[in-house]
Structure 1
Protein backbone atom coordinates (compact mmCIF):
# COMPACT_ATOMS: atom_id res chain seq x y z
CA UNK A 1 0.00 0.00 0.00
CA UNK A 2 2.84 2.41 0.87
CA UNK A 3 4.59 1.76 -2.43
CA UNK A 4 1.40 2.30 -4.41
CA UNK A 5 0.88 5.62 -2.64
CA UNK A 6 4.48 6.66 -3.40
CA UNK A 7 4.06 5.65 -7.04
CA UNK A 8 0.72 7.43 -7.48
CA UNK A 9 2.16 10.57 -5.89
CA UNK A 10 5.19 10.45 -8.18
CA UNK A 11 2.95 9.87 -11.21
CA UNK A 12 0.65 12.80 -10.41
CA UNK A 13 3.55 15.20 -9.81
CA UNK A 14 5.30 13.99 -12.97
CA UNK A 15 2.12 14.39 -15.02
CA UNK A 16 1.69 17.97 -13.86
CA UNK A 17 5.31 19.00 -14.38
CA UNK A 18 5.57 17.23 -17.74
CA UNK A 19 2.46 18.96 -19.09
CA UNK A 20 3.36 22.33 -17.60
CA UNK A 21 7.15 22.49 -18.10
CA UNK A 22 7.92 19.42 -20.29
CA UNK A 23 10.11 18.06 -17.47
CA UNK A 24 9.95 15.11 -15.13
CA UNK A 25 11.92 16.13 -12.08
CA UNK A 26 14.76 14.20 -10.45
CA UNK A 27 13.44 15.35 -7.09
CA UNK A 28 10.42 13.11 -7.80
CA UNK A 29 11.99 10.09 -9.52
CA UNK A 30 15.08 9.68 -7.33
CA UNK A 31 13.26 9.48 -3.96
CA UNK A 32 10.66 7.12 -5.47
CA UNK A 33 13.45 4.84 -6.70
CA UNK A 34 15.28 4.95 -3.38
CA UNK A 35 12.07 4.23 -1.44
CA UNK A 36 11.48 1.16 -3.61
CA UNK A 37 14.99 -0.18 -2.96
CA UNK A 38 14.85 0.56 0.79
CA UNK A 39 11.37 -0.94 1.22
CA UNK A 40 12.13 -4.22 -0.54
CA UNK A 41 15.58 -4.57 1.00
CA UNK A 42 14.22 -3.92 4.50
CA UNK A 43 11.36 -6.39 4.30
CA UNK A 44 12.80 -9.04 1.97
CA UNK A 45 16.56 -8.71 2.32
CA UNK A 46 18.76 -9.51 -0.65
CA UNK A 47 15.87 -11.01 -2.62
CA UNK A 48 13.91 -7.77 -2.19
CA UNK A 49 16.91 -5.73 -3.30
CA UNK A 50 17.22 -7.92 -6.40
CA UNK A 51 13.45 -7.67 -7.04
CA UNK A 52 13.64 -3.88 -6.97
CA UNK A 53 16.93 -3.84 -8.90
CA UNK A 54 15.60 -5.99 -11.73
CA UNK A 55 12.50 -3.82 -12.00
CA UNK A 56 14.67 -0.71 -12.03
CA UNK A 57 16.94 -2.07 -14.77
CA UNK A 58 14.02 -3.25 -16.91
CA UNK A 59 12.23 0.09 -16.56
CA UNK A 60 15.45 1.90 -17.46
CA UNK A 61 16.18 -0.29 -20.46
CA UNK A 62 12.68 -0.10 -21.97
CA UNK A 63 13.04 3.59 -22.88
CA UNK A 64 16.83 3.86 -23.10
CA UNK A 65 17.09 3.41 -26.88
CA UNK A 66 14.37 5.97 -27.71
CA UNK A 67 16.15 8.37 -25.33
CA UNK A 68 19.53 7.76 -27.00
CA UNK A 69 17.93 8.39 -30.40
CA UNK A 70 16.57 11.71 -29.15
CA UNK A 71 12.94 10.63 -29.15
CA UNK A 72 12.26 11.36 -25.48
CA UNK A 73 13.74 12.97 -22.42
CA UNK A 74 15.80 11.48 -19.62
CA UNK A 75 12.98 12.15 -17.14
CA UNK A 76 10.76 9.68 -18.98
CA UNK A 77 13.45 7.02 -18.68
CA UNK A 78 14.00 7.73 -14.98
CA UNK A 79 10.26 7.62 -14.29
CA UNK A 80 10.04 4.16 -15.88
CA UNK A 81 13.03 3.06 -13.78
CA UNK A 82 11.30 4.35 -10.63
CA UNK A 83 8.13 2.44 -11.56
CA UNK A 84 10.23 -0.70 -11.91
CA UNK A 85 12.02 -0.16 -8.59
CA UNK A 86 8.70 0.34 -6.81
CA UNK A 87 6.62 -2.40 -8.46
CA UNK A 88 8.99 -4.95 -10.03
CA UNK A 89 9.60 -6.39 -13.47
CA UNK A 90 6.16 -7.83 -14.29
CA UNK A 91 4.36 -4.64 -13.39
CA UNK A 92 6.72 -2.38 -15.35
CA UNK A 93 6.64 -4.68 -18.39
CA UNK A 94 2.84 -4.85 -18.54
CA UNK A 95 2.64 -1.11 -17.86
CA UNK A 96 4.99 -0.55 -20.78
CA UNK A 97 2.61 -2.33 -23.14
CA UNK A 98 -0.22 -0.03 -22.04
CA UNK A 99 2.16 2.96 -22.26
CA UNK A 100 3.23 2.07 -25.80
CA UNK A 101 -0.38 1.64 -26.95
CA UNK A 102 -1.46 4.94 -25.38
CA UNK A 103 1.63 6.75 -26.69
CA UNK A 104 0.98 5.38 -30.17
CA UNK A 105 -2.66 6.44 -30.06
CA UNK A 106 -1.71 9.96 -28.94
CA UNK A 107 0.89 10.13 -31.72
CA UNK A 108 -1.58 9.06 -34.40
CA UNK A 109 -4.14 11.61 -33.19
CA UNK A 110 -1.54 14.40 -33.23
CA UNK A 111 -0.26 13.44 -36.68
CA UNK A 112 -3.78 13.32 -38.09
CA UNK A 113 -4.60 16.63 -36.44
CA UNK A 114 -1.51 18.36 -37.85
CA UNK A 115 -1.35 16.86 -41.33
CA UNK A 116 -4.92 15.83 -42.00
CA UNK A 117 -5.99 12.34 -42.93
CA UNK A 118 -5.39 12.72 -46.67
CA UNK A 119 -1.80 13.98 -46.38
CA UNK A 120 -0.96 11.45 -43.68
CA UNK A 121 -2.23 8.53 -45.78
CA UNK A 122 -0.38 9.80 -48.86
CA UNK A 123 2.85 10.08 -46.89
CA UNK A 124 2.37 6.64 -45.34
CA UNK A 125 1.60 5.07 -48.74
CA UNK A 126 4.68 6.66 -50.26
CA UNK A 127 6.93 5.45 -47.41
CA UNK A 128 5.61 1.91 -47.38
CA UNK A 129 5.35 1.19 -51.10
CA UNK A 130 8.28 3.14 -52.48
CA UNK A 131 10.74 2.83 -49.58
CA UNK A 132 11.78 6.38 -50.30
CA UNK A 133 12.79 7.31 -46.80
CA UNK A 134 14.14 6.14 -43.54
CA UNK A 135 11.45 5.55 -40.90
CA UNK A 136 13.82 6.90 -38.26
CA UNK A 137 13.99 10.18 -40.15
CA UNK A 138 10.21 10.34 -40.17
CA UNK A 139 9.94 9.78 -36.44
CA UNK A 140 12.98 11.74 -35.26
CA UNK A 141 13.02 14.46 -37.88
CA UNK A 142 15.58 17.21 -37.39
CA UNK A 143 13.26 19.73 -39.02
CA UNK A 144 11.47 21.09 -35.97
CA UNK A 145 8.74 22.76 -38.02
CA UNK A 146 7.53 19.42 -39.36
CA UNK A 147 8.11 17.36 -36.23
CA UNK A 148 5.39 16.58 -33.73
CA UNK A 149 6.17 16.03 -30.09
CA UNK A 150 4.20 15.62 -26.89
CA UNK A 151 5.09 15.07 -23.24
CA UNK A 152 5.48 11.28 -23.12
CA UNK A 153 5.03 11.38 -19.35
CA UNK A 154 1.31 11.60 -20.09
CA UNK A 155 1.41 8.18 -21.75
CA UNK A 156 3.58 6.79 -18.95
CA UNK A 157 1.16 7.96 -16.28
CA UNK A 158 -1.95 6.78 -18.14
CA UNK A 159 -0.41 3.41 -19.00
CA UNK A 160 0.70 2.82 -15.43
CA UNK A 161 -2.74 3.73 -14.14
CA UNK A 162 -4.27 1.28 -16.65
CA UNK A 163 -2.08 -1.41 -15.13
CA UNK A 164 -3.37 -0.49 -11.66
CA UNK A 165 -6.99 -0.59 -12.82
CA UNK A 166 -7.05 -3.55 -15.20
CA UNK A 167 -3.90 -5.45 -14.35
CA UNK A 168 -2.11 -7.59 -16.86
CA UNK A 169 -3.90 -8.48 -20.06
CA UNK A 170 -2.92 -12.16 -20.02
Structure 2
Protein backbone atom coordinates (compact mmCIF):
# COMPACT_ATOMS: atom_id res chain seq x y z
CA UNK A 1 0.00 0.00 0.00
CA UNK A 2 1.21 3.49 -0.84
CA UNK A 3 1.90 5.81 2.04
CA UNK A 4 1.16 8.91 -0.04
CA UNK A 5 -0.82 11.23 2.27
CA UNK A 6 -2.57 12.88 -0.63
CA UNK A 7 -6.33 12.22 -0.66
CA UNK A 8 -8.78 12.70 -3.48
CA UNK A 9 -12.12 14.32 -2.40
CA UNK A 10 -15.30 12.76 -3.71
CA UNK A 11 -16.58 16.03 -5.28
CA UNK A 12 -13.74 16.16 -7.80
CA UNK A 13 -11.85 19.09 -6.27
CA UNK A 14 -8.06 19.01 -6.64
CA UNK A 15 -6.16 16.83 -4.32
CA UNK A 16 -4.51 18.44 -1.34
CA UNK A 17 -1.57 17.38 0.72
CA UNK A 18 -1.56 17.03 4.44
CA UNK A 19 1.94 18.58 4.53
CA UNK A 20 2.02 22.40 4.32
CA UNK A 21 3.95 23.80 1.38
CA UNK A 22 7.01 25.87 2.43
CA UNK A 23 6.60 29.59 2.00
CA UNK A 24 9.47 31.54 0.35
CA UNK A 25 9.86 35.00 1.79
CA UNK A 26 12.77 36.76 0.13
CA UNK A 27 14.81 38.93 2.42
CA UNK A 28 15.02 42.43 1.08
CA UNK A 29 18.48 43.93 1.33
CA UNK A 30 18.63 46.87 3.63
CA UNK A 31 19.56 50.15 2.06
CA UNK A 32 23.15 51.10 2.77
CA UNK A 33 23.44 54.23 4.80
CA UNK A 34 25.67 56.78 3.10
CA UNK A 35 28.97 57.11 4.88
CA UNK A 36 29.68 60.59 6.15
CA UNK A 37 31.90 62.53 3.78
CA UNK A 38 34.78 64.63 5.05
CA UNK A 39 36.11 65.91 1.73
CA UNK A 40 34.13 69.16 1.84
CA UNK A 41 33.61 68.91 -1.89
CA UNK A 42 37.36 68.95 -2.61
CA UNK A 43 38.60 67.19 -5.73
CA UNK A 44 41.28 65.16 -4.01
CA UNK A 45 42.59 63.52 -7.17
CA UNK A 46 43.18 66.94 -8.75
CA UNK A 47 45.03 68.29 -5.73
CA UNK A 48 47.13 65.15 -5.35
CA UNK A 49 48.23 65.43 -8.99
CA UNK A 50 48.87 69.14 -8.54
CA UNK A 51 51.02 68.62 -5.46
CA UNK A 52 53.03 65.95 -7.27
CA UNK A 53 54.43 68.58 -9.64
CA UNK A 54 56.59 70.55 -7.14
CA UNK A 55 57.70 67.33 -5.45
CA UNK A 56 58.82 65.77 -8.73
CA UNK A 57 60.23 69.15 -9.78
CA UNK A 58 62.51 69.15 -6.74
CA UNK A 59 63.53 65.63 -7.72
CA UNK A 60 64.45 66.80 -11.22
CA UNK A 61 66.49 69.62 -9.67
CA UNK A 62 68.39 67.09 -7.58
CA UNK A 63 69.01 65.08 -10.76
CA UNK A 64 70.51 68.20 -12.35
CA UNK A 65 72.85 68.53 -9.37
CA UNK A 66 73.82 64.85 -9.54
CA UNK A 67 74.39 65.17 -13.27
CA UNK A 68 76.72 68.08 -12.61
CA UNK A 69 78.69 66.04 -10.08
CA UNK A 70 78.86 63.06 -12.43
CA UNK A 71 80.16 65.19 -15.30
CA UNK A 72 82.81 66.72 -13.05
CA UNK A 73 83.95 63.28 -11.91
CA UNK A 74 83.90 61.47 -15.25
CA UNK A 75 84.51 64.05 -17.97
CA UNK A 76 87.99 64.45 -19.40
CA UNK A 77 89.68 67.84 -19.70
CA UNK A 78 90.67 66.89 -23.23
CA UNK A 79 87.02 67.18 -24.26
CA UNK A 80 87.34 70.95 -23.90
CA UNK A 81 83.68 71.28 -22.90
CA UNK A 82 81.98 73.07 -20.00
CA UNK A 83 80.13 71.05 -17.40
CA UNK A 84 77.14 69.72 -19.36
CA UNK A 85 75.59 67.62 -16.61
CA UNK A 86 72.48 69.83 -16.69
CA UNK A 87 72.19 69.43 -20.47
CA UNK A 88 72.45 65.65 -20.19
CA UNK A 89 69.73 65.50 -17.53
CA UNK A 90 67.49 67.76 -19.63
CA UNK A 91 68.10 65.52 -22.64
CA UNK A 92 67.12 62.46 -20.59
CA UNK A 93 63.90 64.17 -19.46
CA UNK A 94 63.02 65.08 -23.05
CA UNK A 95 63.67 61.48 -24.10
CA UNK A 96 61.33 60.32 -21.33
CA UNK A 97 58.61 62.69 -22.53
CA UNK A 98 59.07 61.58 -26.15
CA UNK A 99 58.96 57.90 -25.16
CA UNK A 100 55.66 58.34 -23.32
CA UNK A 101 54.21 60.37 -26.18
CA UNK A 102 55.32 57.71 -28.64
CA UNK A 103 53.17 54.96 -27.14
CA UNK A 104 50.45 56.92 -25.28
CA UNK A 105 50.05 59.92 -27.64
CA UNK A 106 50.12 62.12 -24.55
CA UNK A 107 52.84 63.78 -22.49
CA UNK A 108 51.72 63.80 -18.84
CA UNK A 109 51.86 66.89 -16.64
CA UNK A 110 54.01 65.13 -14.06
CA UNK A 111 56.81 65.24 -16.65
CA UNK A 112 56.29 68.55 -18.46
CA UNK A 113 55.15 70.81 -15.63
CA UNK A 114 57.70 69.29 -13.26
CA UNK A 115 60.43 70.18 -15.78
CA UNK A 116 59.07 73.74 -15.84
CA UNK A 117 59.01 73.92 -12.04
CA UNK A 118 62.56 72.59 -11.71
CA UNK A 119 63.73 75.13 -14.30
CA UNK A 120 62.31 77.88 -12.11
CA UNK A 121 64.14 76.46 -9.09
CA UNK A 122 67.45 76.38 -10.95
CA UNK A 123 66.95 79.98 -12.09
CA UNK A 124 66.12 81.12 -8.55
CA UNK A 125 69.21 79.35 -7.18
CA UNK A 126 71.33 81.26 -9.69
CA UNK A 127 69.71 84.54 -8.61
CA UNK A 128 70.64 83.70 -5.01
CA UNK A 129 74.25 83.08 -6.00
CA UNK A 130 74.26 79.28 -5.76
CA UNK A 131 76.20 77.67 -8.60
CA UNK A 132 76.15 74.06 -7.44
CA UNK A 133 74.05 73.62 -10.57
CA UNK A 134 75.95 75.76 -13.10
CA UNK A 135 74.25 78.26 -15.34
CA UNK A 136 74.18 81.88 -16.47
CA UNK A 137 70.46 82.62 -16.29
CA UNK A 138 68.17 83.43 -13.41
CA UNK A 139 64.43 83.14 -12.93
CA UNK A 140 63.65 85.92 -15.42
CA UNK A 141 65.62 84.20 -18.19
CA UNK A 142 64.02 80.84 -17.38
CA UNK A 143 60.53 82.34 -17.39
CA UNK A 144 61.12 84.35 -20.57
CA UNK A 145 62.41 81.33 -22.52
CA UNK A 146 59.53 79.27 -21.18
CA UNK A 147 57.07 81.85 -22.55
CA UNK A 148 58.93 81.88 -25.86
CA UNK A 149 58.40 78.12 -26.07
CA UNK A 150 54.71 78.66 -25.39
CA UNK A 151 54.41 81.36 -28.07
CA UNK A 152 56.11 79.15 -30.66
CA UNK A 153 53.73 76.21 -30.32
CA UNK A 154 50.47 77.62 -28.95
CA UNK A 155 49.24 78.80 -32.39
CA UNK A 156 49.76 75.26 -33.70
CA UNK A 157 47.77 73.93 -30.75
CA UNK A 158 44.94 76.37 -31.51
CA UNK A 159 44.38 74.87 -34.96
CA UNK A 160 44.50 71.32 -33.60
CA UNK A 161 47.98 70.55 -34.89
CA UNK A 162 49.23 69.12 -31.59
CA UNK A 163 48.23 68.50 -28.01
CA UNK A 164 48.77 70.51 -24.84
CA UNK A 165 51.52 68.16 -23.69
CA UNK A 166 53.68 69.06 -26.70
CA UNK A 167 53.34 72.77 -25.88
CA UNK A 168 54.29 72.15 -22.24
CA UNK A 169 57.22 70.03 -23.38
CA UNK A 170 58.56 72.98 -25.40
CA UNK A 171 57.98 75.26 -22.41
CA UNK A 172 59.95 72.96 -20.11
CA UNK A 173 62.86 72.82 -22.54
CA UNK A 174 62.88 76.61 -22.83
CA UNK A 175 62.79 77.00 -19.06
CA UNK A 176 65.89 74.87 -18.51
CA UNK A 177 67.96 76.33 -21.33
CA UNK A 178 67.02 79.83 -20.15
CA UNK A 179 68.33 79.03 -16.67
CA UNK A 180 71.47 77.38 -18.07
CA UNK A 181 72.46 79.63 -20.99
CA UNK A 182 70.96 82.94 -19.95
CA UNK A 183 68.35 85.04 -21.73
CA UNK A 184 69.94 85.66 -25.13
CA UNK A 185 71.58 82.30 -25.76
CA UNK A 186 68.66 80.50 -24.11
CA UNK A 187 66.13 82.20 -26.38
CA UNK A 188 68.27 81.41 -29.43
CA UNK A 189 68.59 77.75 -28.38
CA UNK A 190 64.84 77.48 -27.75
CA UNK A 191 64.03 78.99 -31.14
CA UNK A 192 66.50 76.94 -33.16
CA UNK A 193 65.58 73.68 -31.42
CA UNK A 194 61.95 74.44 -32.27
CA UNK A 195 62.87 75.06 -35.92
CA UNK A 196 64.77 71.77 -36.17
CA UNK A 197 61.94 69.91 -34.46
CA UNK A 198 59.40 71.54 -36.77
CA UNK A 199 61.37 70.50 -39.86
CA UNK A 200 61.63 66.92 -38.62
CA UNK A 201 57.94 66.88 -37.72
CA UNK A 202 57.06 68.21 -41.17
CA UNK A 203 59.14 65.52 -42.85
CA UNK A 204 57.44 62.84 -40.73
CA UNK A 205 54.04 64.25 -41.68
CA UNK A 206 54.85 64.21 -45.41
CA UNK A 207 56.11 60.63 -45.17
CA UNK A 208 52.87 59.59 -43.45
CA UNK A 209 50.80 61.25 -46.19
CA UNK A 210 52.79 59.56 -48.96
CA UNK A 211 52.66 56.12 -47.33
CA UNK A 212 48.93 56.28 -46.63
CA UNK A 213 48.02 58.14 -49.82
CA UNK A 214 45.53 60.51 -48.17
CA UNK A 215 46.32 63.50 -50.39
CA UNK A 216 42.76 64.72 -50.86
CA UNK A 217 41.90 64.37 -47.18
CA UNK A 218 44.95 66.38 -46.13
CA UNK A 219 44.17 69.06 -48.72
CA UNK A 220 40.71 69.33 -47.18
CA UNK A 221 42.29 69.59 -43.73
CA UNK A 222 44.27 72.64 -44.88
CA UNK A 223 41.04 74.30 -46.00
CA UNK A 224 39.41 73.41 -42.68
CA UNK A 225 42.31 74.97 -40.76
CA UNK A 226 41.80 78.23 -42.65
CA UNK A 227 38.09 78.05 -41.86
CA UNK A 228 38.81 77.44 -38.17
CA UNK A 229 41.03 80.52 -38.01
CA UNK A 230 38.31 82.57 -39.68
CA UNK A 231 35.73 81.36 -37.16
CA UNK A 232 38.07 82.15 -34.25
CA UNK A 233 38.65 85.71 -35.42
CA UNK A 234 35.19 86.63 -36.73
CA UNK A 235 32.75 84.60 -34.64
CA UNK A 236 33.91 82.87 -31.47
CA UNK A 237 37.23 81.53 -30.26
CA UNK A 238 35.55 78.64 -28.44
CA UNK A 239 33.58 77.69 -31.56
CA UNK A 240 36.71 77.67 -33.69
CA UNK A 241 38.60 75.67 -31.06
CA UNK A 242 35.79 73.11 -30.93
CA UNK A 243 36.00 72.73 -34.71
CA UNK A 244 39.76 72.22 -34.48
CA UNK A 245 39.42 69.56 -31.77
CA UNK A 246 36.76 67.71 -33.77
CA UNK A 247 38.88 67.80 -36.90
CA UNK A 248 41.98 66.61 -35.04
CA UNK A 249 40.15 63.43 -34.02
CA UNK A 250 39.97 62.50 -37.73
CA UNK A 251 43.66 63.11 -38.46
CA UNK A 252 46.34 60.46 -38.67
CA UNK A 253 47.97 60.89 -35.30
CA UNK A 254 51.63 61.86 -35.03
CA UNK A 255 53.25 61.88 -31.57
CA UNK A 256 54.79 65.32 -32.04
CA UNK A 257 56.81 64.99 -28.87
CA UNK A 258 59.13 62.62 -30.74
CA UNK A 259 60.24 65.07 -33.48
CA UNK A 260 60.37 67.83 -30.87
CA UNK A 261 62.79 65.75 -28.81
CA UNK A 262 64.90 64.97 -31.88
CA UNK A 263 65.02 68.70 -32.62
CA UNK A 264 66.05 69.53 -29.05
CA UNK A 265 68.81 66.94 -28.87
CA UNK A 266 69.88 67.47 -32.46
CA UNK A 267 70.44 71.19 -32.02
CA UNK A 268 72.24 70.72 -28.70
CA UNK A 269 74.59 68.23 -30.37
CA UNK A 270 75.11 70.67 -33.25
CA UNK A 271 75.81 73.45 -30.74
CA UNK A 272 78.65 71.60 -29.03
CA UNK A 273 80.09 69.27 -31.64
CA UNK A 274 79.64 71.06 -34.98
CA UNK A 275 79.67 74.81 -34.34
CA UNK A 276 83.00 74.82 -32.42
CA UNK A 277 84.73 73.26 -35.43
TM range (shorter): 0.7 to 0.9
Alignment equivalent of 2:208, drawn from 110, 113, 120 = 110
Cα distance, 1:3 vs structure 2: 2.7
The alignment status of 1:87 with 2:191, answered yes or no, reads no
Q: Which has the larger radius of gyration?
A: 2
Give TM-score, length-normalised by structure 2.
Answer: 0.51
Taking the aligned partners of 1:60 and 1:2, their CA distance within structure 2 comes to: 25
Deviations 1:96-127 (A, max 9, x none): 110111011001100000107xxx4xx5xxx7
The alignment status of 1:50 with 2:136, answered yes or no, reads no
Unaligned runs of 5+ in 1: 128-132
Alignment equivalent of 2:198, drawn from 93, 96, 100 = 100
Structure with greater helix percent: 1
Alignment equivalent of 2:95, drawn from 8, 12, 18 = 12
Cα distance, 1:37 vs structure 2: 1.2
Cα distance, 1:41 vs structure 2: 1.8
Cα distance, 1:135 vs structure 2: 6.4
Aligned position for 1:153: 257
The alignment status of 1:21 with 2:104, answered yes or no, reads yes
Unaligned runs of 5+ in 2: 1-83, 130-136, 179-186, 228-243
Displacement over 6 Å in runs of 4+:
none
1:144–1:26: structure 2 CA closer, same or farther, 3 Å change rule? closer
| 8 Å CA contact 2:161, 2:248 repeated in 1 | no
1:34–1:144: structure 2 CA closer, same or farther, 3 Å change rule? closer
Does 4-13 or 100-109 show the bigger shift? 4-13
What is the aligned length? 157
| 8 Å CA contact 2:160, 2:247 repeated in 1 | no
CA RMSD, Structure 1 to Structure 2 (Å): 2.9
| 8 Å CA contact 2:150, 2:167 repeated in 1 | yes
